[in-house]
Amino acid sequence: MVQFFNVLGIWIGALLTFAIFSFLYKDNPFYKTAEQIFVGLSAGYWFVYTIFFILIPNMYEPLSTNITSNWIKLIPAILGVMMLLRLIPNLEWVSRFPIALVIGTTSGVFFLRYLKSDVINQLTATIMNPFLGNTTVNTIGQILLIVGTFTGVVYFYFSKKHEGVFGATAKVGIYFLMISFGAAFGYTAMARISLLIGRLQFLFGDWLGIIEP
């Protein structure tokens, strides 16, 4: 029976893959059906997952088994209910309080973390002696890192007109940005092709069995 369901799953997966790929030719009912199955399944999956893997273990079970030591979980539960009041037009205003709390808390947590990780540590990483690299390639790389960071930041300074030496520095910054956009495009192309490879490995391996899965 397990074997039957495995084979059935592979066949459904293969047919849905073809249905999605058919969009590359033109929009058609097979694509639309597969798309709507995906949307419906995802919504259903998340709904069930939220209830059974988030609400029940984190709220219902602790409160139903030992409310005395877990009473603090009532606070997020009440805030959650307040958030849902958004659906009732007359009581919509109540939802602003939990939203404000979430935004405030998130800002506080993220501000500190991002300041340290994305500003201080990133800046510190560029404060170095580039000539201490073991090889010429390392030294050139470190010089490029310093020049790229500096000129890139200069480009984003808009309180002074970009002309003269300042403008030339900003222009160098643009070239560094262009190169980084090119690298980002290259990585994106690579990622998309990898997804196609993954699907074809499934079709040729799991479904047709002509390559090793």
Task: Quote the least distance from Cβ 184 to other proteins, whole Å.
Answer: 4
Distance CA 69, CA 83 (A): 25
In Å, how far are 95, 147, 198 from 150, measured between CA atoms? Answer: 44, 5, 40
Task: Quote the least distance from Cβ 193 to other proteins, whole Å.
Answer: 4
Closer CB to other proteins, residue 28 or residue 188? Answer: 188
Closer CB to other proteins, residue 88 or residue 179? Answer: 179
Binding-site ranges for other proteins (CB under 8 A): 24-25, 49, 53-54, 58, 109-110, 113-114, 116-117, 121-122, 124-126, 128, 180, 183-184, 187-191, 193-201, 204, 210-212
Distance CA 85, CA 24 (A): 43
Contact assessment for residue 181 and residue 155, using Cβ atoms and an 8 Å cutoff: no
Closer CB to other proteins, residue 54 or residue 168? Answer: 54
Cα torsion 24, 27, 29, 31: sign: positive
Closer CB to other proteins, residue 167 or residue 182? Answer: 182
Task: Quote the least distance from Cβ 30 to other proteins, whole Å.
Answer: 16
Closer CB to other proteins, residue 91 or residue 197? Answer: 197
